[in-house]
Every structure is written in structure tokens, then in C-alpha cells.
Amino acid sequence: MPPDLYFALVLIVKMAVTAAFVLAATVTAERAGPLVGGLVATLPLGAGPVYIFLALDHGAHFIGESAINSLAINCVNVIFAMTYALLAQRRTLAVSLPLALGLWAVLAIGVHEVHWTLMSAALLNVVVLSACIVLARPLRHVRFPRMRVYWYDLALRAVMVALLVGITVTLSFRIGPDGSGILAVFPIILISIMLILHRRVGGKPTAAVMANAVTGLVGFAFACIVLHLTADAFGAAIGLSLALATSIAWGLTVFNLRRRGVDI
């Protein structure tokens, strides 16, 4: 089989598998309310499969280095979610999302221009997450109406996630681990949730999902740190598995604490 055809077929399979996985997870989240929705939305549902494919193409060292920039860009995702949550209290989707996304783009360019170390990226996360968790706390608890999921909602999410995988995997051969680390965590799932929920249930319930997502992104930060520390030492499979387990463990911890009345 010609190399170009092989690459195209493999890429299509990668995009389809990832989109199917994300669809299953986000539909479940939407039916469980803003807390579970926010926590599930910040699991490495989009980034995880991308990292698996990057590991297959480039090896463990590549994804370990990419994880540092993913850790740094996690702060930008936190600010993106928080900005949208604040704007959506009074603004429409047409105002809230573009403004938040524009800020994301500016900050992401700044992150890309910095040579990050594990320590500097981790410290940035501590500062940004601490501030945003305080800001997000009053916005978390909003009644979330039950909704019917339509086929075109599923199609939108599938297309958006599939495009992310396709772009990241294709460009990774040119942009290296730093750029791949940024593209891998582009907030495609958060954006798809905003697009779908805001017009159906309103800004405040959707903002509640994003406010809970701020807490969920603490787990993603831990996952990036674990991936960076373990991928080279133990191999890509173990590193990715430990990173996923870390993110899931954080989500379960937050969920159990909230059920006990601890407003973490």
C-alpha cells in the first residue's frame, strides 16, 4: 500500500475512534448535571487518545516532553473556562465564546513562546488554579434541566473532536513536542459543550459546568505531571495509563467530597 494512502487510512481510523469515545463520555456527562459534567469534560478524553497516537508515531520521550507544554497550556484552559463562565452569566453565546476563545488564543501564543520546565509550569498552575477556583465557587450550583440529545449534537461533537485529532497528528511531524503539547489540549470538548448547552439551557447552567470544570482541570494538571515523570522511565503505555488513572482519581475524589458537603 502506498505510504500516503496508509497514512490517510490510519488517520481516519484514529479520528473515528477518538470521536466515538468522546461522544459516549459527554452524553453521559450531560445527563448527570453540572458537577459530573464539568469533571467528565476535563478528563483526558480528547488529549488522551491524541497522546496515544503521538506515542505510537514518536515514542515515549516525545510525549513526556509534550506533557510540559500541556501542563502550561492547562492554565490557559482554566482561564478560558473561567472567562466564559463569568461572561455567560449575562452575555449570549455569540459574545461569551468568541471573547473567551480570543483570550485563549492570545495566552496560548504567549505560552508557546516560553521555554517551560516542569517546575515553572507547575507553579503557574498553582497560581492560576488557586485564583480561578475561588472565582468559580459561587457559579457552580445551578439547576440543570434535563435535555434530549439530538443526532446533530452528536454529529457536531464527533466532527470537532475528529478534526482535533487529525490536525494534531498531522502537524506533529512539523511542530515538535512543544507545539503538539499545546494542540493536544486545545479545549475542544469544553467548546463543544458551550456550543450545545448554551443555546438549549441558557448561559448560567452552562457556566456552572465550566465552573466545575475549573476544579476538574486540577486533575488534568496532575495527569500532565505524572505523564512527564513516568513516560521516559517506564514507557509510553505505563505513563499514559498512570496519567489517566490520576485524572480519574481526582474526579472521583472531588465528587465524593462534594457529596459529603466539602465545597472543594
Q: How far is CA 214 from CA 45, 49, 77, 89, 92, in A?
A: 16, 22, 9, 16, 21
The Cα–Cα gap between 23 and 261 comes to: 30
In this prediction, residue 7 carries a pLDDT of 64
Counted domains in the chain: 1
Is residue 67 included in any domain, yes or no?
yes
Q: Which residue has the higher pLDDT, 190 or 245?
A: 245
Q: Which residues contact 214 (CB under 8 A, 6 or more apart)?
A: 38, 78, 81, 82, 85, 129, 132, 133, 136
Is residue 264 included in any domain, yes or no?
no
Three-class SS of 129-142: HHHHHHHHHHHCCC
| DSSP 8-state class, residue 43 | S
The Cα–Cα gap between 182 and 215 comes to: 20
Do residues 91 and 203 touch, judged by C-beta distance below 8 A? yes
In this prediction, residue 10 carries a pLDDT of 63
Is residue 190 included in any domain, yes or no?
yes
Residue 220's identity, in one-letter code, is F
> Model confidence at 134, in pLDDT bands (50, 70, 90)?
very high
- Express each pLDDT in 220-258 by its tens digit: 999 999 999 999 999 999 999 999 999 999 999 999 999
In this prediction, residue 195 carries a pLDDT of 85
Domain that holds residue 95: 3-259
The Cα–Cα gap between 153 and 49 comes to: 21
- Express each pLDDT in 11-27 by its tens digit: 787 778 777 777 776 67
Q: Residue 161 is placed in which grid cell?
A: 473532536
Is residue 122 included in any domain, yes or no?
yes
Is residue 239 included in any domain, yes or no?
yes
In this prediction, residue 110 carries a pLDDT of 92
Is residue 210 included in any domain, yes or no?
yes
Q: Residue 241 is placed in which grid cell?
A: 495509563
Share of the chain above pLDDT 70, in %: 91
Q: Residue 224 is placed in which grid cell?
A: 500532565
Tell me what the pLDDT averaged over the chain comes to.
Answer: 86
Is residue 38 included in any domain, yes or no?
yes
In this prediction, residue 221 carries a pLDDT of 97
Is residue 111 included in any domain, yes or no?
yes
